[in-house]
Amino acid sequence: MPPSSIEIDAISKRFGRHQALNAMSLAVRAGEFMSILGPSGCGKSTLLRLIAGLDDPDSGEIRVAGQPGKRPGKRRLGDRGVAFVFQTYALYPNLSGYDNIAAPLVMRELNGFERLPGARLLPAVARKRRSIDSRVRAIAELLQVAPWLTRKPGQLSGGQRQRIALGRALVREPSLFLLDEPFANLDAALRHQTRAELTALQKRLGTTTLFVTHDQSEAMAMSDRVAVMFEGAIRQVATPDELYRNPVDLDVARFLSQPHLNCLPAKVILDGHVLIGGEHVALADARQPGTEGIVGFRPEHATLRPRPASATVPGTLPGVVERIEHAGADVFVFVRLLAPDTTCTIRAASHEMSRWAPGTPCAVALDAASGWFFPRRPMQTAALGRTEVAAA
Ligand code: ATP
């Protein structure tokens, strides 16, 4: 089937008193790989279930390939070209890997009589069976599961089971592929490998794919675009690169920072300059002198400099090294600032580690071009497209 586009128009969904989706809208292009990224409970799975037609929205409309999906639950997912892989991919335990992958085709293409073992002798059934066989084997080859086709799910590892489940979803050549945290049960190495394989596979097949995750690195690594969701609504839709460089608000910036975003209260004193804890610091993103808000910067958006014990370095934030955490090639240096009284985290190369023993006076120098200023009130100018500061 050709890939489907999806248009979601102001859909809302309430469970009792809880508003799971709040007039949310989203457009997914045909053939696109889009991740829905957001914290636990923000409504990601609810959204996917509504798109799949497993549940109806209270209001609003979802169009798949331009067709409104009013009460789509009345039709089977497969009939509408939608394949869904859940967090807990339930394979048929008594069927082999082969039969699990073949199951959707057998159900769709053979009637009750034709499924009986004896019916295989009839030429028309044998022809259909051969066609199913060639498609199952092609998918098995693609997913590299051919060696395990004779095994039942109980004899497969979690990763192998997960690929069989993907095979079962892909074999019917869906126009839309919905994946709800399908790697949740895999260990880190297998997760990494499988996500690379799935991305390559999606590019080859060109199937529109919506991938739900709360893992930002997964979303950033796999997607053409990422839709970031909070509290039942989409905050930002952008390419991974755009999202990383230009988060629309503090929540998005925080969610996309590892291990976390440094947040410091600040006031704009001049265009391009802020006051943080009594120090004047250059920050290109700061506009409208007099505006108060939060300066947010990632651990990689600042560097550490030496500082004489009882002095400051102009344009930097004075502090003292609190502790160091190893992160492979890099280290995270936790610095207790003198003002404001808080800790910020700076990424440094591991060979620099010996310079920053706990207790060493240091100065935090922000990269003026990379940090952001999030105003407390919405800015009048739409120049940044940013919204007001969330809970600081
Ligand atoms: P997670 O990442 O933890 O899977 P999520 O973002 O997918 O979370 P949803 O499963 O969509 O979140 O749930 C959104 C909110 O709606 C949650 O607060 C959840 O408790 C609530 N919710 C979901 N389904 C139901 C239901 N059938 N009945 C009542 N509340 C529900």
Q: Which residue puts its alpha carbon closest to atom 19 of ligand 1?
A: 41
- Model pLDDT, residue 75: 54
Percent of the chain scoring above 90 in pLDDT: 62
User: Could you tell me if 124 and 34 lie in one domain?
Assistant: yes
Q: Distance between CA 146 and CA 193 in Å, rounded?
A: 18
Q: How many residues does the chain have?
A: 392
As a whole number, mean pLDDT of residues 203-224 equals: 92
User: Could you tell me if 366 and 292 lie in one domain?
Assistant: yes
Given a cut of 50, whether residue 391 has pLDDT beyond it is no
The answer to whether residue 392 is domain-embedded is no
Given a cut of 60, whether residue 389 has pLDDT beyond it is no
Pull the structure tokens for residue 226.
């990422």
Ligand 1 pocket mutation, candidates 35, 37, 44, criterion most atoms within 8 A of CB: 44
- Model pLDDT, residue 82: 85
Pull the structure tokens for residue 99.
């039969």
Given a cut of 80, whether residue 93 has pLDDT beyond it is yes
Burial-class residue 226 by CB neighbours within 10 Å (0-12, 13-18, 19+): buried
pLDDT band (50, 70, 90) for residue 78: low
User: Could you tell me if 225 and 114 lie in one domain?
Assistant: yes
CA 232 – ligand 1 centroid, Å: 10
Given a cut of 50, whether residue 383 has pLDDT beyond it is no
- What contacts 188, CB < 8 A, 6 or more positions away? none
Ligand 1 pocket mutation, candidates 13, 14, 15, criterion most atoms within 8 A of CB: 15
- Model pLDDT, residue 392: 38
**Digit-coded pLDDT (tens) for 128-145:** 999 999 999 988 987 888
Please give the helix or strand (H or E) that residue 246 lies within, else none.
none
CA 10 – ligand 1 centroid, Å: 18
- Model pLDDT, residue 64: 87
Given 197, 215, 245, which residue is the final one in a domain?
245
Given a cut of 60, whether residue 378 has pLDDT beyond it is no
Given 245, 270, 297, which residue is the final one in a domain?
245
User: Could you tell me if 225 and 272 lie in one domain?
Assistant: no
The answer to whether residue 87 is domain-embedded is yes
Higher pLDDT, 361 or 169: 361
User: Could you tell me if 281 and 233 lie in one domain?
Assistant: no
Q: Which residue puts its alpha carbon closest to atom 11 of ligand 1?
A: 43
- Model pLDDT, residue 71: 47
Average pLDDT of the residues of the chain: 88
User: Could you tell me if 177 and 289 lie in one domain?
Assistant: no
Q: Which residue puts its alpha carbon closest to atom 9 of ligand 1?
A: 43
User: Strand 225-230 to strand 33-37: parallel, antiparallel, or no bridges (unpaired)?
Assistant: parallel
Quick one: how far is CA 213 from the chain centroid?
5
- Model pLDDT, residue 73: 44
Ligand 1 atom at shortest distance from the alpha carbon of 232? 14
User: What lines the ligand 1 site, CB under 6 Å?
Assistant: 15, 18, 20, 38, 40-46, 214
Given a cut of 60, whether residue 387 has pLDDT beyond it is no
CA 153 – ligand 1 centroid, Å: 28
User: Could you tell me if 291 and 338 lie in one domain?
Assistant: yes
As a whole number, mean pLDDT of residues 81-94 equals: 82
User: Could you tell me if 135 and 79 lie in one domain?
Assistant: yes
Range of the structural domain that residue 228 is part of? 6-245
CA 21 – ligand 1 centroid, Å: 10
* pTM, entire model: 0.85
Given 224, 245, 266, which residue is the final one in a domain?
245
- Model pLDDT, residue 388: 46
As a whole number, mean pLDDT of residues 297-302 equals: 96
**Domain with 23 in it: what CATH number?**
3.40.50.300
Q: Which residue puts its alpha carbon closest to atom 20 of ligand 1?
A: 41
Given a cut of 70, whether residue 385 has pLDDT beyond it is no
Counting the structural domains of the chain, the total is 2
Return the exposure string of 330-350: e unless at least 16 CB atoms fall within 10 Å of the residue's CB, then b: bbbbbbebbeeeeebbbbbee
**Domain with 285 in it: what CATH number?**
2.40.50.140
**Digit-coded pLDDT (tens) for 36-72:** 999 999 999 999 999 988 889 999 999 988 877 654 4
CA 189 – ligand 1 centroid, Å: 28
